[in-house]
Amino acid sequence: MRLDNVSRDFGHMHALRDVSLTVERGEFVALLGPSGCGKSTALNCVAGLLQVTGGAIYLDEQRIDELGPEDRGFGMVFQNYALFPHMSVRRNVGFGLVTQRRPKPEIEQRVNEALALVRLESQADKLPGQLSGGQQQRVAIARAIVVGPPLVLMDEPLSNLDAKLRLEMRAEIRRIHTMLGCSTIYVTHDQEEALSLADRIMVMIDGQPRQIGTPEELYARPANADVAEFMGYRNLFASPSENGEAGLQVSVGGARLTGTAVGEVGARAMVAIRPDDLRLTGDGPIAASVEIAEYHGRDFSVVARAADGTELFFRSDQRVTAGDAVRLDAAPARVLVYPA
């Protein structure tokens, strides 16, 4: 499946601008970005629920953006499940096959196979209202895959579940995707969800793709400061920069750090450091005072204030409390420096 410079306008508002993406057979691609960035709009254009106002969408070599949703043959899983409350689980799953007028023996066999895949055989005759949220989501997935689609589209399918169920369903979605071997496009605003599920991630900001790459590439080396901020680099500051004997020098919290350039960095730069990479050390160059320390079980999530007033976020496996004076440092490879 291929998006070729796809755009979508709502009046004078550009919801999507020149989005290009190729999804290979069997690939799991996540569309990741903040609310309002255009990721659900892109998914709805692929599904046929929205018409594109520019560009084209192809399935293999066939152009499909002029076809209706029912003619594209894709499976869809929505955030709100969209199950028929008066129909049993079995009838919900088989609904698409019934509308395709498939023979009854084929419908029964394929529904049974789909229910087995999502581990819901014992719930087949219940109504959706009798199921938990996680079970309802499994029914929605079974209904999407039972028709044997070339592509499954998922729009924030786990956002209504609690934290424990989200983790369980994440593993289930990946297992089902691997067993089916079909392609999947998955929309989420949760970077951890995207990192754990996807083969590749497209980060979208303001209706445009800002970076496409593997989870490892996006986590370790965001292409620009906008992507870095969204991917968890909470320490993001403007800084002068200059090349010194030890490498590229920048200013963080009133101290000098050596950083790693991403792109052509001039005299002004943006510095990005993950909280995990800002380390508590006895002789670190950055002096700061702890303002907030939250215990997260394995470590502390800390907000500190540097001597020059800069707010710093870091994590510590040592106990710290509000008012503590600390020294911080970061390895040069973990201090990413972008053009201003």
8 within 8 A of 53, measured Cβ to Cβ: yes
Contacts of 167 (CB under 8 A, 6+ apart): none
Residues in the chain: 340
Tell me which architecture the domain covering 233-339 has in CATH.
Answer: Beta Barrel (2.40)
How far out from the chain centre does Cα 147 lie?
A: 26
d(CA 142, CA 279): 46
Write down the domain spans for the chain: 2-225, 233-339
Residue 229 phi, psi dihedral angles, 5° rounding: -60, -45
Nearest to 77 by CA among 37, 136, 122, 123: 136
pLDDT of residue 183: 95
Neighbouring C-beta atoms of residue 75, cutoff 10 Å? 24
Task: Measure the CA–CA gap between 20 and 249, rounded to whole angstroms.
Answer: 36
Q: Residue 256 carries which DSSP code?
A: E
- In CATH terms, is domain 2-225 a member of 3.40.228.10? no
Helix, strand, coil shares of the chain as percentages rounded to 5?
30, 35, 35
- Which ranges of 154-250 does DSSP label H, i.e. alpha helix? 163-180, 191-197, 215-220, 225-230
Whole-number Å distance between alpha carbons of 245 and 232: 30
Q: What is the mean pLDDT of each run of 10 residues along the chain (340 residues)?
A: 96 94 96 94 96 95 92 89 91 92 93 93 94 91 93 92 88 91 94 95 96 96 93 94 89 95 93 96 94 94 95 95 96 95
Strand arrangement of the beta sheet that strand 325-329 belongs to: 279-280, 325-329, 286-295, 300-306, 311-316
| pLDDT at 165 (0 to 100) | 87
